[in-house]
Chains A and B, each alone.
Chain A
Amino acid sequence: MKKILAMALALAMTVSMAACGSSGSNSSAGSAGSAGSAGSAGDVSSEGNADFKVGAIYINSKSDTAGYTYAHNHGITTAMEELGLDTATQLVIRDEVLEDYDAVATAVDTLVGEGCNIIFGISFGYMQAMNDKAAEYPDVMFSHATGYMSNDTNFNNYFGRAYQARYLAGIAAGLKSLEMGNNNVGYVAAYGRQYAETASGINGFALGVQAVNPDAVVYVKELGNWADEVNESAFAKELIESYNCGVISQHCDSAQPQIAAQDAGVFGCGYNSDMTADAPNAHLTAAIWNWDVYYKTAIEAAMTCGGAENFVTAMGGPAYYGGLKENFVDVSPLNEATVAQGTQAAIDAVRELIVSGAWDVFSGVKLHVTVNEDGTATVEQEEAPLLCDGQELVDGALVERDAQVVEAGGPSVEDGVITGTMNYFVEGVEDA
């Protein structure tokens, strides 16, 4: 008898846990959506789109309050509110969907069944399933972040020129390193050369640092994992203590590297969101994403393109790759308490060059930025080749690997390389 009772109790415990999990996320869906409905009365675009539905597939929970999924969910809901769509009734979310073909395919089927007109998938591993489902459902539009697959009609991919924002953050870091008289800059990275996304970010940042401090060296410590808070903190501390780094940049989700920098009395550049609140005495500025910029563009195009088969054409091509110009990426407002004098002026000067299209990070032309005594900044172009060298450890010594040179004045590194095959570091970046 006792055994039966015990089993029943254990069962009840298990069931109640499962119930907790799902009811938690249900309740937040309701609250997230309620804001959008009020202002829609006067909005012209919402009149004809009352039955337009947006679907979204997330890797983490939609009730996250920070991190990657949060950033996308925030972007989608913001964009929908700006377009006068009701996020309570016109947004359907499948969250905590693993990077597993069947799981993604099922999520897509569900969203199509709910009547979604456009479906966003935010994680790299959703790519193949979305590609196949786009062919299966030609009347539905598909849009996939961070990947490289697409078709000519109803399936595109999207990503941003984060390296541009990182270049600007690098300027802030470089000026700080000059002020501190410490040329060692640390970088806690999820991965290094293995992914073009991380390598292009590291290179962009390093070039920004070197634009103001040519003697600076960026030491990259690779986590081998996209999210690992314990080691994000430990790696930053290691860079500070053993490599004597005075500024810590990062390509990882949590604010741990910034907190570690603050605890050690040094400085840092965050990523993804403004991390000044996490480390007010250390944080300089962060390279950030404005996902709502893309989502607004895409949803607007989806509502007006007159059929799913026109979606890719309306988006101007199968791969959306916005940058500073579109305000898709940016740096967060400078932390006036920590940044070196003239940082704003230097960043603004370079930003203008990038936004106007006069110059870009991987164009093969290096910039030299100096902050003048009166706080203004001077930008000069250096006719120096952009040296990119990977390094490899052979018999205990680091040797050059795959040396590549982007000729000054020659053609820029192509977008396809920046997003796909950039597997090298520029000069002045070293493995730590």
Chain B
Amino acid sequence: MGPEMDKLGVVTTFLHNIVVYNIPLLYGTVGEIMVEKSGSLNLGVEGIMAVGAIFGYIVGCYANSLGVGILTAFAAGALCGLLFAVLTVSLQANQNITGLTLTTFGLGVYFFVGNGVKAVRWPAMNDYPAIKEGFADIAIPGLSQLPVVGRGLFDHNLLVYLGVAVALAMWWYLRYTRPGLRLRAVGENPASADSVGVNVKRMKYLHICLGCGIMGVGGYYMGLNMSGSFNSSCWINGYGWIAVALVIFANWNPALAILGTFIFGFFNTLRVSGSSLAAAFPGPLGWLAAVPSQLYQALPFLITAVVLVLTSVRKREGSGLPASLGLNYFREER
């Protein structure tokens, strides 16, 4: 049974896959943390990622530039954010419903634009060397030479590093900068922030757009990781929803979101690598092969449910949940 498995190789591939397939979750989570820190609950992550993905991919290909693709994905996501902000901040629409609507809207735009372009000429990633090379793995000198973790963690594409950098930068921004402090104040108690001269509306608009832009880049990543092949199922594949739950898992802390993404990714990736691990280590891990694939499919969502239960029993102290999350701020009612 089984070919001669390179045991270390299997573990390396497993680690590598955890990163490769789950980084979009980090983008979605970090973007949503920024939005939620401004006191807005945006459930439209799935749709926003889809919009960022489709525009980023198509424009990026036609420009034959990964940078243009990233910027376009960011701009498309930010535009969705602007729509959300106009509806919820200026017009005081219900945030939950607007977010859900945005999901349906985003997926509709994804298929509408995608099918439209496909009817004319779909850009195949193979034809755009600059995109393909831009998305190729870049080994970090030194670190990537380490056994197992080297290839597993330090040999990835540009957008993986960018995602981690964005998460760390946002952690620093929220914790150590004045605008970050103001943003947290807006999320906790917009009336108080308003009374000390913070422009609540502007803070909300700015950070909703920024956060949604980051989600859009995450969507673009998913498109690239699928080699840009456009079919009847959406690239985002439910990741947007998992990101919403990961925000709670990470306790609204972008640095913790990195950890959360990888813990979550571990379970997510078991579905792909479980049987390989079982074949490479039949003694300790052989049972992994006996787990039905349906359970692996359900695992990410089961973990989500467990996380939500665990975090909801946690005490309010130490929670990063912005106090005014989900509540619209109406200045005249102050």
Contact = CB atoms under 8 A, between A and B. Distances in A.
A51 interface: no
A335 to B, nearest CB: 15
Contact of A228 (B229, B233, B273): B233
A154 B79 CA distance: 55
B233 A229 contact: yes
B173 interface: no
Given A253-B231, A278-B124, A10 B93 contact: yes
Interface string B2-16: 110110011001000
A183 to B, nearest CB: 8
B301 interface: no
Interface residues of B, number: 55
A242 B10 contact: yes
Interface string A271-297: 000000110100000000000000000
Contacts of A67: 231-232
Nearest to B280: A242
Contacts of A230: 21, 222, 225-226, 235, 237
A222 B274 CA distance: 12
A5 B91 contact: yes
A231 B235 CA distance: 11
Given A21-B108, A393-B286, A432-B279, A65 B229 contact: no
Nearest to B104: A17
Nearest to B292: A224
A13 B105 CA distance: 8
A245 to B, nearest CB: 8
A15 B87 CA distance: 16
Contact of B108 (A9, A20, A217): A20
Interface string A324-363: 0000000000000000000000000000000000000000
B92 A6 contact: yes
Q: Is the interface of A mostly helix, strand, loop or mixed?
A: mixed
A227 B233 CA distance: 7
B271 interface: yes
Interface stretch (B67-75, B111-119, B305-313): B111-119
A431 B289 contact: yes
Nearest to B7: A242
B294 to A, nearest CB: 5
Interface string A215-257: 0010101111101111101110110011110000000011110
B294 A224 contact: yes
B227 A9 contact: no
B237 A229 contact: yes
Interface stretch (A56-64, A79-87, A115-123, A137-145): A56-64
A90 interface: no
A14 interface: yes
B48 to A, nearest CB: 14
Given A14-B101, A243-B276, A229 B235 contact: yes
A242 B5 contact: yes
A24 B286 CA distance: 50
B275 interface: yes
Interface residues of A, number: 61
Interface string B81-105: 0000001000111100110010011
Given A230-B226, A241-B9, A397 B272 contact: no
Contacts of A243: 2-3, 5, 276, 279
Nearest to A260: B227
A242 B227 contact: no
A41 to B, nearest CB: 30
A224 B272 CA distance: 12
A228 B9 CA distance: 26
Contact of A223 (B6, B225, B287, B293): B293
A256 B87 contact: no
B275 A432 contact: yes
Given A2-B91, A242-B5, A242-B280, A17 B108 contact: yes
Contacts of A224: 292-294, 296-297
Contacts of B94: 10
A241 B9 CA distance: 8
A104 B284 CA distance: 48
Interface string B121-161: 00010100000000000000000000000000000000000
A398 interface: yes
A236 B226 CA distance: 12
A13 B101 contact: yes
Nearest to A222: B293
Interface of A: 2-3, 5-7, 9-10, 13-14, 17, 20-21, 24, 60-61, 63-67, 69, 184, 217, 219, 221-225, 227-231, 233-235, 237-238, 241-244, 253-256, 259-260, 262-263, 277-278, 280, 393, 396-398, 430-432
6 contacts: A67-B232, A230-B21, A230-B235, A237-B17, A241-B9, A393-B286
Q: Shortest 9 CB-CB distances between A and B: which pairs?
A: A396-B286, A224-B293, A6-B91, A242-B276, A6-B93, A393-B290, A234-B272, A259-B227, A241-B13
